[in-house]
Structure 1
C-alpha cells in the first residue's frame, strides 16, 4: 500500500507529474484567452476569443513537452498552416463534407512536408473548412484570433516549461557512448526504417535512453 501511494505521489507531483501539466494547461489557456480578448477589443463581432483545437495543443505542450509533435514550430506552424488549408478548401469547394474531408488530408500532407506535424492542426483544418462553408462564410480575418491563440499559448509554454525544468524547444540529452559501443546512431535509424513505423520520440532521445539503460545495467 505504501509503495502504491508513493508511486501515485510521484506521478502527481514528480518532475513531469500531472499536477504540473494540469496547472500549465489551465494557465496557458487562460492567458491565451484573456490576451486575445483584449487584443480583439470589446466588440469582437463573430470572432471567438478561444478556438477548441487550442485545448489539444495545450495537452501536448504541457504534458509531453519533449514530444516532436509538441515543439514550438509544430504548435505554431501546424495550426496556422492547417487553418489556411481549411479556409481555402471551404471557399473553393463550398460543400462542408467534401471541404472538411479534403482539408484534413491536405493539412496532414502540408504539415508533413513543412516538418510541423501537430495533431490539433487537423482539428484546425476541420474547424476552418466548416466555418468557410457556413451560411456566413469565414474570411481571412478569422486567422487573427487563431494566430493570437497559438502564438500566446506557445509563448506561455516556452516560459512555463523552461521555468519548470523542461527546456522547450526540447534538447535531447547527450550521453557519451562507451569506447566500444554496442551500436551506433545509424543503427537506430536503420531499425526504425525496418519497422516502418513513426515513433513519437527523437532519435537522439532514443539513443540517450538506451545508453543510460546500458550504464545502469553495468552498475
Structure 2
C-alpha cells in the first residue's frame, strides 16, 4: 500500500523532540526582538522592531536545523536579499499588488541563483513591497531592523542548536560503503538518480548518503542474525 508523504511523528523530548525546537524558537524570537528594540527603540510605529517572517525562519532554524533551507547563509542572505528586492519593487513601481507579485517572484529567482533559498524570504519580499508601496512609504532604513532581526536570530540559532546537540551550520561526515557490501554506489550515482527524479528534496545529498549507508548496514546485520 502506497503511503502519502508525511512528517515523522515527534516526541516532546529527545534528539528531535518538538519541545527543544519550541523553546529554541521562543528564545530566538525573544533575542531578535529585544536586540532590535534596544538598538532602534520602539517609538516609531511605522518601523517594526520585529518583522513577521522571522516567525517562519524560527521554525526552520530551530525545528529542522538540518534542512538546507535552514542554514545560516539561507537565513541571512535569503531574508535580506528578498527584503531589498521587495523594497525596490515597491519604491520603483508604486503599485502594491504589482510590487508584491514581482517582488516575490524576483526574490525566488535571486535566492535560487545565490543558493540562499529560504521560504520566509518570500514573506520578507512581500512585506517590504507592500510597506514601501503602501501608506507607510518604507525607505531603505527598513532593511536595518530586518538585518538586526536575522542576525540576532541566526546568532541564537547557532548557540542554541550547537548546545542541544545539533551542529549548526549542519554538517555530516558521510560514511564509506560497508566493507564487502553486495550493493555499492557513488555520490555520482546518487546525484544522477536525483537528477532523473527532477524534484527538489529538502535534504542534503550527504544526509541521503548517510541514511542509505546506515540502512544498508542495519539490513545486513538483521540478515546475519537470521542465519
- TM-score, with length taken from structure 1: 0.93
1:69-105 Cα offsets, whole Å, 9 max, x none, are 0000000000000000000001111111111000000
Deviation at residue 172 of structure 1 after TM alignment = 1.9
Equivalent residue for 1:177? Answer: 177
The farther-off stretch of 184-193 and 71-80 is 184-193
Equivalent residue for 2:4? Answer: none
- The gaps in structure 2 that reach 5 residues or longer are 1-7, 222-227
CA RMSD, 1 decimal: 1.5
- The gaps in structure 1 that reach 5 residues or longer are 1-6
Deviation at residue 175 of structure 1 after TM alignment = 1.1
Aligned partners of 2:42 and 2:49 also within 8 Å: no
1:26-82 Cα offsets, whole Å, 9 max, x none, are 111011111110011353452111000000000000000000000000000000000
Deviation at residue 136 of structure 1 after TM alignment = 3.2
2-structure distance, mates of 1:56, 1:43: 26
Count how many residue pairs are aligned between Structure 1 and Structure 2: 212
Correspondence list, 1:57-136, <5 A: 57-136=57-136
1-structure distance, mates of 2:191, 2:152: 35
Equivalent residue for 1:196? Answer: 198
Equivalent residue for 2:167? Answer: 167
Task: Spell out structure 1 runs of 4+ moving beyond 4 A.
Answer: none
Equivalent residue for 1:213? Answer: 215
Deviation at residue 187 of structure 1 after TM alignment = 0.9
1-structure distance, mates of 2:219, 2:176: 16
- TM-score, with length taken from structure 2: 0.90
Which structure is higher in helix share? 1
SS in structure 1 of the partner of residue 12 of structure 2: helix
Equivalent residue for 2:3? Answer: none
